[in-house]
Amino acid sequence: MLLDYLSRPLKRYSPLHLDPHALNDQELALILPHAHPDCVQVFYFAQGDEAQLYVLDEFNSLWRQRLPFHDEASLLQPLRRFLRAIGDRREARWVLANPQHLETLFYRLQPGQGNRARTVERLALPADTDMTPFFDVQAIMFKSNAQQTRVVLYCNQKEFSELEHGVALYQVVAREILGQRSHAQRYRCYITDLDLSALGNEQAFSSNVYLRYETDLEQAINAALTALD
């Protein structure tokens, strides 16, 4: 499947040459030509109360996710914050061995007739808005053995690990998150930072790899939040 191929993790930039007649009337035809090795590019296409998010990373690997859509800021700011956090972390760690700064660019796909995306509009995002009611949920991934990857989560500086809580980890974290919220509101939780250095070979991980882990963790936490209803 084309999307599976485009979404595969890569270890270096891999250019893609798209036939100008290929993928007519599809969002990918607007996104893929923007590939560039020195930046991460975020695209979104809103359709009613949902939006399709795409990230074309610095290695030309595609990540996508469908999320609830309320407004542009609430959709993009959590992702912007996450990408900046992992970017700052990688820059600080690699500054001597592999100096690199990746710019993050944002785009809106504009609909044409039939509610299909027809044009791409570059967004000039304003300065970071107040992320309230969001708060920090950080994650560290590590290998407990050669086959198994485990996670430690930090919610407002409190540590929660699989070693301590086992399969109940996400339920425990969900309760902690609800306890921090006024009136135990059930809005979506976001991972704000992710450390993959304990997995080894971190310099081979593109932004796509971070986003894959982030997506899995967010899905697990938000499923636990929903189950507490």
DSSP letter for each residue of 8-37: S--SS-------TTTTTTSHHHHHGGG--T
Instruction: Indicate if 101 and 141 belong to the same structural domain.
Output: no
- Buried-exposed string 123-140: b where 16+ CB fall within 10 A, e elsewhere: eeeeeeeeeeebeebbbb
Instruction: Indicate if 150 and 99 belong to the same structural domain.
Output: no
Determine the Cα–Cα distance for residues 87 and 17; give it in Å rounded to an integer: 27
Asked if the structure places residue 131 within a domain, the reply is no
What was the pLDDT predicted at 214?
96
For residues 44 and 75, the answer to whether their CB atoms sit within 8 Å is yes
Asked if the structure places residue 114 within a domain, the reply is yes
Instruction: Please state the pTM of the whole predicted model.
Output: 0.89
Closest to 40 measured CA to CA, from 1, 90, 4, 74 = 90
Using alpha carbons, list the distances in angstroms from residue 50 to 14, 69, 108, 149, 198.
Answer: 31, 5, 14, 32, 35
What was the pLDDT predicted at 105?
95
Instruction: Indicate if 82 and 163 belong to the same structural domain.
Output: no
Asked if the structure places residue 16 within a domain, the reply is yes
Instruction: Indicate if 85 and 159 belong to the same structural domain.
Output: no
Instruction: Indicate if 103 and 163 belong to the same structural domain.
Output: no
| CA angle 76–80–196, rounded 5-degree value | 130
For the stretch 113-142, pLDDT in tens is 766 778 899 998 756 655 455 678 999 999
Asked if the structure places residue 130 within a domain, the reply is no
Question: Higher confidence at residue 205 or residue 130?
Answer: 205
Asked if the structure places residue 128 within a domain, the reply is no
Determine the Cα–Cα distance for residues 218 and 66; give it in Å rounded to an integer: 13
Select from 98, 123, 148 the last residue of a domain.
123
Instruction: Indicate if 23 and 118 belong to the same structural domain.
Output: yes
Determine the Cα–Cα distance for residues 76 and 106; give it in Å rounded to an integer: 9
Evaluate the CA torsion angle 8, 13, 19, 23 in order and state its sign.
positive
Domain count, the chain: 2
Select from 123, 156, 182 the last residue of a domain.
123
Average pLDDT over residues 8-31: 80
Question: Higher confidence at residue 90 or residue 51?
Answer: 51
Instruction: Indicate if 119 and 145 belong to the same structural domain.
Output: no
Evaluate the CA torsion angle 64, 155, 100, 103 in order and state its sign.
positive
Residue-range definition of the domain harbouring residue 149: 137-227
Instruction: Indicate if 32 and 80 belong to the same structural domain.
Output: yes
What was the pLDDT predicted at 31?
92
For residues 55 and 61, the answer to whether their CB atoms sit within 8 Å is no
Q: Which helix (H) or strand (E) holds 164?
A: helix 162-165
What was the pLDDT predicted at 184?
55
Instruction: Indicate if 98 and 205 belong to the same structural domain.
Output: no
Sorted by sequence, the CB contacts under 8 Å of residue 200 that are 6+ apart come out as: 143
For the stretch 53-85, pLDDT in tens is 999 999 999 999 999 999 999 999 999 999 999
Select from 123, 153, 180 the last residue of a domain.
123
For residue 194, pLDDT over 70 is answered with yes
For residue 88, pLDDT over 80 is answered with yes
Asked if the structure places residue 212 within a domain, the reply is yes
For residue 12, pLDDT over 80 is answered with yes
Instruction: Indicate if 67 and 169 belong to the same structural domain.
Output: no
Sheet arrangement for strand 158-161: 158-161, 149-155, 137-143, 193-195
pLDDT category, 185, cuts 50, 70, 90? Answer: low
Asked if the structure places residue 65 within a domain, the reply is yes
Instruction: Indicate if 46 and 77 belong to the same structural domain.
Output: yes
Asked if the structure places residue 85 within a domain, the reply is yes
What was the pLDDT predicted at 125?
72
Instruction: Indicate if 67 and 89 belong to the same structural domain.
Output: yes
What was the pLDDT predicted at 151?
95
Half-sphere exposure of 24 (CA within 13 A, CB side): 2
What was the pLDDT predicted at 168?
96
